Structure 1
Amino acid sequence: MFTPTITRSMALCLAVSVCGTQAVQASGFMLPESSTAGIGLSNALVANPDERGAFAYNPAAMGFHATSSLAVGTYFIGPNFSVDTASGHHDSQGADWMALPMIQGAFSLDERWRLGLGVSVPFGLETRWSDGTFPAVSGTRSIGAYSIPLGHPLTSKLEIIDVSPTVAYRLNDALSLSAGIDVYWARQAKLDSTLGTLTGDGYGFGFNLGALYRQGPWSLGAAFRSSATLELEGDFVPKSSVLVSLGRLARAQTGELDLALPWRLQLGARYAFDERLAVEFDISRSGWSAFNDIKVTSKATGALIFVDQNDWNDANAYRLGATYQWNDQTQLRFGYTYDETGQDDDHFSARVPDNDRHLFSLGLAQSLGNGLSLEAAYMYVRAVERDYRGASPYTGGDLNGSTALAGDYSMDAHLIGLEIVKVF
């Protein structure tokens, strides 16, 4: 049987743990990197009609390429998270390095139509804080003769794969339009909450639209990806059999959870100074207000267990990217982004210790002949340190925004992208 306090806590932990796995490239838990060119240009590619790495950001760019192509690559992420709390300095024990796929195919059907297919990981990653990091929820407490763990949340892991088929239509020499769908698969959703462990997976669907206009040295681009709701299903295993027997903790069961992903809008302008140098400026807005509430229901009965409010804010990112054609075979890339957080103190979460970020990047594209090219890129991410003291007292229920998470948070990350591109 669920008590109100336990039910509220479980819903919160499901919501925070599933949705709060640590992303390091953009606000919240978003991973916008979808090509090596994107990493090298800090994702400023929505108005780029020349680079094939732009297809993943704005599929309308396919309309400006007469040939077909296939790009296959991966990027490696090395994140570092730390916090200073009342118990001292602590580093997150998540994976040191992770590898994520980047695949993009673009196929020319005739003079006007193009067909694309992309595979990426737009949301996810991992955090793992050791027991003792947050004293208010660390250790045990005594109930009669039993020592009951306070339930320090240790692990969050989420990986969402997006398979996106798209079509592009070249209206005339200046304008190309695109449309597609996004099939999201939460391949891994695993967490250790204050109450137990939840593992599961699920699916969701969205759509995307794009437009790219080029006139002389100028090009203007716009790309939109809709919000989507992933229907997750998982097995919840409680931490304490004693609390279950006392009716103070939920029994093992299957639960359902709706996870709302934010919409994303990117607008950009690019200017080619000459045949060698081009510069692009983009503004991206992420609709984190769509990530408003989490509804947890019983798989067996369909009854509503709890509704948790997140109340994040929409947030902007400002991106600048430059390409320089060193010679016929070699292109250099440079980028910078200032990325705002959508998370305020009222709902601050240690699973997403988010703050405004600076992204610095550089890249290289080298032609190998016979339609082959090799691309590489590096990005450094540095978050503004966050001195968080808590928006409300911790009373044993809702961790988000509470004094239990008080501390000085810092984060940085290194990204390395590698990709091979074949034009045919």
Structure 2
Amino acid sequence: MNNKKQQAQALLGLALVAGCMAVGSQAQAGGFSTPTYGAPGWGRAFGGGSLFKNDPSAAFNNPAAMAFIDHNVAQMTVDYARINLKYKGDAYDYQGNPASTAPVDDFGNSTPLSGDGGEGGFTAWLPTGFLVMPINDRFAFGLSQVVPLGMRSTWDEGWKGRDFAVDTKIETVGLTGSLSFKVNDQFSLGLGAIVQHSKGFVSQNLNVTGAAGMSILPGAPSGVGANLMRVKVDNTSVGWFTGVTWKPTEQDTLGLNYHAKIKNKMEGKYNIRADAIGRSFMTDTDTNGTTLIELAYPGLKLYPDGANAETQLDVPATAGLDWVHVFNDRLTLGASATWTQWSSFKDLTLKSNGATIIAIPYNYKDTMMYSLGGDYRFTDQLTLRAGVAFDETPTRNSTRDPRIPDNDRWFTSLGFGYDIKAIPGLVIDGAYSRQFVKEARIKTVNQDRLGGSRLDGKVDAKGEVVSVSATYNF
């Protein structure tokens, strides 16, 4: 192959990756993490990680595995995710009265709630891209674009749990570079760095009359007025990851990877779409220049027209152990176990100018995900895939809320790969994954400054992901 042709193919490979770097969204796993694989990985339910032959997702998941990729390979993937949420149960105000209608507006109108709770969910598109290029017999270089964190939940503004959550969107898009070194034919090492941009958007109702009733105006009615707080924050941060790969036999490959925790302090703005009642609580002052909100909660001042906001949302550390066994030229199976240090996520605290506006305890726990899947080469052109995975939730019954109504889940996946002979080197892969989420119990009391509302119910969730990849080997 001449140099000009090599350069052209390399540019084509880079274009496959760059073509999907402009947009990011979510396909949720446990908590708010996102699987970082192409359609082949989704088809195996992530069993074996990135240790299957010539899998370019090794550029992020385990950079050491790049050392055993024997040619340039680029992959572009688009995932479509659909998640449905349904709340069934009761909601109460701070006096113990059932919440039965949406907040009353300035004209005395209210919107009845539908059903016995609320329905939420989302649809989203998730693009990822990988590129691996061997430098020589020892070294290989990789690039990737991934979305390691991402989740979204959307509820109607007038649902019973509006004092807990309306919209929630968390998204982290990362660009990575990695390098592998083949120590010998059985052993390799890898190291990589990630630069990521995180965005967050949350909204919920501020029950200012209920909050006043708990402090300065005992007995005041709860839920009078409609005041929607919306917060937008973002940040750019840097992290690192590493991996080790060992081939004890010709048929077996073992891999260990670690992605370090990334500190992520997000900053931005909040604003409040306040009605006349809410605005007066936040802006009207007494003879001492103190607002009703400040009387109720000394040190807290809310600005309905907007102010600075900040929160800490770190990316947890993960470690994974993968194994792949080649039975013959037709069948290959893989298994994986992945640990995530979710215990580092204690709470979600929103501050403005040094004052705490909202502090929601979560106290997540560390989790494990177990996967088993494989490939069956049905013909020289067609490969079939299947897999199953069990993913533990980091949430606890005592602190779970409708913003992230997560619970343990099963993944079941089917997939295929088809070698396009008319275009040498091009493979099209597809996968379908179904998520079966255990019913999530919601029994929690809101923070007092949000009105002291209480939920007692459950959330049923289900989801599905369709993944399509184009892989070019050159």
TM-score w.r.t. the length of structure 2 is 0.75
Aligned to 2:245: 212
Q: Residue 279 of structure 1 aligns to which amino acid in structure 2?
A: L
Q: Residue 237 of structure 1 aligns to which amino acid in structure 2?
A: N
Deviations 1:158-201 (A, max 9, x none): 22101111111111111121110121211x42221334111132
Q: Residue 242 of structure 1 aligns to which amino acid in structure 2?
A: S
Aligned to 2:67: 63
Q: 1:155 is matched with which residue: 167, 176, 182?
A: 167
Aligned to 2:214: none
Q: Residue 111 of structure 1 aligns to which amino acid in structure 2?
A: D
Corresponding residue SS for 1:275: coil
Q: Residue 260 of structure 1 aligns to which amino acid in structure 2?
A: D
Residue 184 (structure 1) aligned with residue 196 (structure 2)? yes
Query: Counterparts of 1:303 and 1:386 in 2: how far apart (Å)?
Result: 32
Deviation at 1:345, TM superposition (A): 1.6
Q: Residue 175 of structure 1 aligns to which amino acid in structure 2?
A: F
Corresponding residue SS for 1:45: coil
Deviation at 1:266, TM superposition (A): 0.8
Deviation at 1:242, TM superposition (A): 1.9
Corresponding residue SS for 1:333: strand
What are the residue-to-residue correspondences of 1:25-424 with 2, within 5 Å? 25-46=28-49, 48-55=51-58, 56-86=60-90, 88-95=115-122, 97-134=123-160, 151=163, 153-186=165-198, 188-195=199-206, 196-214=229-247, 215-240=249-274, 241-246=279-284, 247=291, 248=293, 249-251=301-303, 252-294=306-348, 296-298=350-352, 309-369=361-421, 370-390=424-444, 393=445, 396-397=448-449, 404-424=454-474
Query: Counterparts of 2:51 and 2:463 in 1: how far apart (Å)?
Result: 26
Query: Counterparts of 1:281 and 1:260 in 2: how far apart (Å)?
Result: 28
CA contact (8 A) 1:264 1:285 kept: yes
Deviations 1:214-264 (A, max 9, x none): 122221111111111222111111343222114215122112222111111
CA contact (8 A) 1:70 1:104 kept: yes
CA distance 1:395–1:71, shift in 2 (3 Å): closer
Q: Residue 264 of structure 2 aligns to which amino acid in structure 1?
A: L
CA distance 1:351–1:115, shift in 2 (3 Å): same
**Larger Rg computed on CA atoms:** 2
Query: Counterparts of 1:258 and 1:403 in 2: how far apart (Å)?
Result: 25
Deviation at 1:62, TM superposition (A): 1.2
Identity of aligned residues (%): 23
Query: Counterparts of 1:133 and 1:297 in 2: how far apart (Å)?
Result: 26
Corresponding residue SS for 1:63: helix
CA distance 1:73–1:313, shift in 2 (3 Å): same
CA distance 1:80–1:297, shift in 2 (3 Å): closer
Bigger shift: residues 332-341 or 248-257? 248-257
Deviations 1:25-76 (A, max 9, x none): 4210111142111111111233624141542422222111121111112110
Aligned to 1:12: none
Q: Which segments of 5 or more consecutive residues in structure 2 lack a partner in the other structure?
A: 1-24, 91-99, 101-114, 207-228, 285-290, 294-300
CA distance 1:113–1:394, shift in 2 (3 Å): closer
C-alpha RMSD over aligned residues: 2.4
Deviation at 1:376, TM superposition (A): 0.7
Whose strand fraction is larger, Structure 1's or Structure 2's? 1
CA contact (8 A) 1:131 1:152 kept: no
Query: Counterparts of 1:181 and 1:193 in 2: how far apart (Å)?
Result: 36
Corresponding residue SS for 1:228: coil
Q: Residue 365 of structure 2 aligns to which amino acid in structure 1?
A: N
Query: Counterparts of 2:413 and 2:54 in 1: how far apart (Å)?
Result: 17
TM-score w.r.t. the length of structure 1 is 0.83
Aligned to 1:10: none
Deviations 1:273-296 (A, max 9, x none): 212112111111111011124554
Q: Residue 419 of structure 1 aligns to which amino acid in structure 2?
A: S
Aligned to 1:148: none
Deviation at 1:344, TM superposition (A): 0.7
CA contact (8 A) 2:29 2:391 kept: yes
Bigger shift: residues 37-46 or 244-253? 244-253
Bigger shift: residues 325-334 or 402-411? 402-411
Deviations 1:2-36 (A, max 9, x none): xxxxxxxxxxxxxxxxxxxx976421011114211
Deviations 1:355-383 (A, max 9, x none): 00010001111111311111111100010
Corresponding residue SS for 1:193: strand
Deviation at 1:388, TM superposition (A): 3.4
